[in-house]
Structure 1
Amino acid sequence: MLADAPTADDIRVFAYGSLIWKPCFAFIEQRIGTVEGWHRSCCLKSTRWRGTPDKPGLMLALEPGGRCRGVVYRLAPDTSRDGLMALWRRELGPKPLNHDPLWLSVRTEKGAVPAITFVANPQGLSYVGATSIDEAADMIAQAAGVWGPCAAYLHETVVRLRTLGIRDRYLWRLQSAVAEKIISERSKGSASHEDPDLQQQRQSLCPQGADRPPRIATRQ
């Protein structure tokens, strides 16, 4: 794949989810960019990092259609190979792969640049395809894994996108639905039976006493 890079010291990665707020590589430049023909979708189940086999979470990938705004990183040349190895371990997983790494053109204010982009593989072990907002919110609100609640993953992604001035109608609607479900669950008293650490993490997403969930406007 590196053979298709513009030059050995000009390798870029397009981030649209957790790579925005938790990159696993050193970089020397970042820009806001848009990929045409792809959109965010919570279409990969997580049974370890943000969920369990009994209550899987959902993670983001790109699926065909629409457009996606995110961040394009230029990797530090002196550590680019180490950075890519870490990225491969994090994103690809066991075969059949959940992601297909592709070189896609990313439009930025300084012109279009090619960047490695991870898109969903419909034959992947964790691929679940399209789900309704309500179905996805149910899964995300209930799931937690080694890295914490799935709702925290979604919330952090939405917050970082908002900070960057990026709006994604799908994620905004999903975040609002997840927050509503967490508050509804708490009002029924079910949160009191959770593991204390998980309960505390959920409460950080929806503080007690709030008149409405900490959601972000669903309109662009």
Structure 2
Amino acid sequence: MTSKEFVVFGYGSLIWKPPPHFISQVPGFLKGYVRRFAQKSHDHRGTPENPGRVVTLVHKEDWDRFSQSDAFPDEDIVWGVAYTIDPAYEAEVRDYLDYREKDGYTMETLDVYNIEDGVEKVVLHGAFCYVGRPDNPSFIGSEPLDALAERIWHSVGPSGRNKDYLYHLAESVRKLAPASHDSHLYALEVRHLSQFASVNSKIT
């Protein structure tokens, strides 16, 4: 990546719904972060009255202070996709992303890793990424997994059902890195498939 390139790393819905005008994409992972459904969604997967839940990145050290109720393994890895944007459309895409991520997200820069010849190495330095920091008003932090799963199951917003967001994300991450660990994400998926989906099928 050169200093003139605008590269954005997607770890949530950007994985399966990428930004416009990208000219290349590179899968990769982050180090020192966890991905958690710790952000309220008032405008995409929920409403102001009944906000859904979407993912954000949290520095591992910060999450350890929040996460007494869901201490998932340290070996979890945040996989996503880095998109290089056509320079001719950089301003347009920045405006698009700023609007799409307006519900509490802040742009940060971070390094993206991959494995080359069996060795972890940085493949992109200083990629841009939208993060819901713990001090933003939509950050909800750690919730009991059952309560979080139920909230996601029932929430709906302008972008669709919150549970579809969960399913799309789990499927996308699994395709990106079949051998990787994302215990929080997959535990929520299992809760939905085993508990809520079975209950719903009995009702219908």
User: Shared fold by TM > 0.5?
Assistant: yes
Task: Determine which of 170, 187, 204 is the counterpart of 1:173.
Answer: 187
Corresponding position of 1:186: 200
- Considering Cα pairs closer than 8 Å and 6+ residues apart, tell me whether 1 or 2 has the greater RCO: 2
Report runs of 4+ in structure 1 exceeding 6 Å deviation. Answer: none
User: 1:116, 1:141 → 2: CA distance?
Assistant: 31
Gaps of 5+ in 1: 193-220
Larger CA Rg, structure 1 vs 2 = 1
CA contact (8 A) 1:25 1:87 kept: no
SS of match in other structure, 2:31: strand
User: 1:54, 1:144 → 2: CA distance?
Assistant: 11
Paired amino acid for 2:3: T
Post-superposition Cα deviations, 1:30-70, rounded to whole Å, max 9, x if no partner, equal 11111111110101112332123443210011011164221
User: 2:113, 2:88 → 1: CA distance?
Assistant: 25
Matched, 1:135 2:131: no
SS of match in other structure, 2:14: helix
Shift of 1:159: 1.2
Q: CA RMSD in A?
A: 2.1
Corresponding position of 1:157: 169
Gaps of 5+ in 2: 61-73, 117-121
Paired amino acid for 1:86: Y
User: 1:74, 1:128 → 2: CA distance?
Assistant: 31
Change (3 A) 1:48 1:117: closer
Report the TM-score, using the length of structure 2 for normalisation.
Answer: 0.80
Task: Determine which of 112, 123, 134 is the counterpart of 2:123.
Answer: 112
SS of match in other structure, 1:25: coil
Matched, 1:30 2:25: yes
Report the TM-score, using the length of structure 1 for normalisation.
Answer: 0.74
